[in-house]
Amino acid sequence: MDTGFSKDTRILIIDDSVTFRKMLYKILESQGFTSLQEASNGEEAWEKICHDNQPYGLVLCDIHMPKINGLEFLKKLRSDDRFKNLPLILVTSERDKKMMAEGVLAGASHYLTKPITEENLFQRMVYVAKKTAKT
């Protein structure tokens, strides 16, 4: 499926669940994505984003994590001019519409609720790719 992102797009998967990170990794890898990175929390992700030599093209980020949670990470990302336009999809088991609205207001490109499917992940990626292309 064409997600709107190039297969060599660097994607950072941030989630404190190893199982969930591996699941997302396998889904993306099965569609031909070749540059996938992982982080277990916002603090580790921030280090990667700031210090990796190549830029990221998409971030998939859980909301509930230790150290720096997803909303804090998102706000930190958007406050830095280098990353203010980096596409980020919040991934959460949270069904609270207020929490989702807070994420979108903080600058999330979109959100995805768990449990996810390959289809709904790729639908969000298509939406974000189109939205990013317009800016």
Domain boundaries, the chain: 10-134
Q: Which of 15-19, 20-24, 52-56 has the lowest mean pLDDT?
A: 52-56
The gap from C-alpha 75 to its chain's centroid, in whole angstroms, comes to 13
pLDDT of residue 135: 60
Does position 62 have pLDDT exceeding 80, yes or no?
A: yes
Read off the pLDDT of residues 68-100 as tens digits, 9 standing for 90 and up. 999 999 999 999 999 999 999 998 886 667 777
Q: How many CB atoms lie within 10 A of CB 59?
A: 28
Return the CATH architecture of domain 10-134.
3-Layer(aba) Sandwich (3.40)
Average pLDDT of the chain is 91
Q: Residue 36: helix, strand or coil by DSSP?
A: strand
Q: Are strands 110-113 and 58-62 parallel, antiparallel or unpaired?
A: unpaired
Task: Return the structure tokens found at 14.
Answer: 């941030």
CA dist., res. 34 & res. 43, Å (int): 24
DSSP 90: E
Residue in this structure with the two tokens 């969000």, named with its chain if needed: 124
CA dist., res. 127 & res. 130, Å (int): 5
Specify the pTM: 0.93
